[in-house]
Amino acid sequence: MRLVVLSDNIPKEPCQGEWGLCIYIEYRGHKLLLDTGSSGLFAQNAEVLGLDLSQVEFGVLSHAHYDHADGLADFFALNDRAPFYLRSECRENCWCDKGEGPEYIGIHQGWLTRFRDRLIYSSGKVQLLPGVYLLPHSSPGLAEVGRKAGMFVSECCGLVPDEFAHEQSLVLESAEGLIILNSCCHAGADVIIREAAEAFPGRTLKAIIGGLHLYRSAEEEVRELARAIKRTGISSVVTGHCTGEAGLAILKDELGDALQALHAGLELTYSD
């Protein structure tokens, strides 16, 4: 299994960086894509790295935010066949409020209609390939998490706290254990790890990969999360994007060698 980060906040030659995330995956002879970052930069980095995105068989959108979905048009222009899997709850309706009023952070408006022939909406736990699964949230009370984070979705009654029903994990089986990819972990990395453990009882937990949405979190919140992650028993945390530099430093202090930082161009390998 090979994973290559095509978009992340931290650049590393020969790749450029942006606020966003995209990961290319080779798995048992198949080629997949997780997210598309916030622009076409992922495609530029793929070309520099010699990766042919026209050969990708399908993509997965982790959740309905622009910094993961705004490269979709570029991907569909490069690849004329691969569908993208979204949660059935995905809409163009995500907002955030950091104290200065609501700001739209959702999928580019009009794209769910424009690209409807390339989109597949999934519900529940879904097997895409042998060893490849989509996993929705199953934990209650996530609307309170959204409220505290200042994240909302627009409904007929106005803005309501986001319960992240549009968010999903991509779970890959490996000889080393489960590899969990969740691009922002808005519900909390420990919650997401527990959800995977419950969905795959008795399986070893190898790694969680993606942002942890800690760039605005206080130090003690980050330390508490690190301790909660330790209690899950997972072996490895590979994170960047919305984790933030300060969050990464605190996590490193708590998790030590179990933590690895993401950057554009990073390659990870696991035994199939």
From residue 192, alpha-carbon distances to 45, 64, 78, 188, 228 in Å are 29, 17, 32, 6, 11
CA 62 to chain CA centroid, Å, is: 5
**Using CA atoms, how far apart are residues 68 and 34, in angstroms rounded to an integer?**
9
272 residues of the chain, pLDDT tens digit each: 999 999 999 999 999 999 999 999 999 999 999 999 999 999 999 999 999 999 999 999 999 999 999 999 999 999 999 999 999 999 999 999 988 899 999 999 999 999 999 999 999 999 999 999 999 999 999 999 999 999 999 998 899 999 999 999 999 999 999 999 999 999 999 999 999 999 999 999 999 999 999 999 999 999 999 999 999 999 999 999 999 999 999 999 999 999 999 999 999 999 98
- 207 contacts: CB under 8 Å, gap ≥ 6: 177, 179, 180, 234, 235, 236, 237, 238, 270
Measured distance CA(61)–CA(22) in Å, rounded: 10
Q: What is the pLDDT of residues 36-56, one digit of tens each?
A: 999 999 999 999 999 999 999
Separation between Cα atoms, residue 189 and residue 167, nearest integer Å? 13
List the strands of the sheet with 267-269, edge to edge. 119-122, 84-87, 58-60, 30-34, 22-27, 2-7, 267-269
d(CA 4, CA 1): 10
